[in-house]
Amino acid sequence: MSKANTPSEITLPASDQGWRTVLAFLCAHFHRIAPEVWQQRVLDGKVYWYDSGEPIRLDTLFKPSRRVCYFREVAIEPLIPFEHQLLYRDEHIVLACKPHFLPVIPGGDFVNECLLERLKRDTGLTDLVPVHRLDNETAGLVLFSCNPQSRAAYYQLFAEGKVEKTYQAVAELPPALQQADLPMQWRVQNRIEKSEPRFLMRQWAGDVNADSSLSLVACREHLGLFELCPHTGKTHQLRLHMQQIGCPILWDKYYPELQPKQRGNFSQPLQLLAQRLRFTDPISGEEHQFQSSRQLQSWPL
């Protein structure tokens, strides 16, 4: 059994929709976890109110908008056999480069084997929070806040689109692009919403909420090297936009068709790398430009 070192938090909905107790809400909300598991966590004192620290009991009544803490547990936690890199640290931020397959934060089968927990162990910083996310399958740069007093300023940078993000991707080229004059450029703008299963996304009719600039910058036989600049931050945005131009990212296990999960198979990582971050520091005014030294497996230098 692997137990999280730090608690997770959840805010109860603003109204009771028939749960009556906190336990009933947790069982309904986390429906993939057996009710008896939640019951045992409550009995063991592993669920408590955020503000008071008072333990939740089996009969504790649901209280709208209150915050609850709990410790995540998994029977067997996978280990990711690739190293992360700590690239920069000051009194406000920490920047790291994560390998493929490693999650940024706890989730699913992972409680301690994630970039956040690795960095806490490396730095000794306990109040460390990512200000943006990458998929487990994507490698590259992730920015963390380590100072709660300045944290909102870094969140705001991403919310207002003031961070220039550049990704690198390799894709199988259709015949029409294999002899193209380079560079080739596309601007893809559409609407992306959740699909089924819930971890997948799909393109949808309606107002634009996803915007990317894509450039084909090099070709090697049937493969193309792309530079991708997302102007918005929707989940799986670059994967779907590459698919839309007829160039799905190489070794994508989700799109265009969901592949069976292969636990422990690290041989073909998604060929997508968050390569560069550029922004003006909202506290110091310094111009930051960070670049990953990682290479995509299918496109070695």
Catalytic center residues: 135
Q: Outline where the chain has alpha helix (H).
A: 22-29, 35-43, 115-123, 151-159, 175-178, 237-244
Burial 243-267 (b: 16+ CB within 10 A, else e): bebebbbbbbebbeeeeeeeeeeee
Residue 204 makes CB contacts below 8 A (sequence gap 6+) with 190, 191, 192, 193
| Residue 128: HSE in the Cβ half-sphere, 13 Å Cα cutoff | 26
CA distance 207 to 300: 39
CA distance 117 to 18: 36
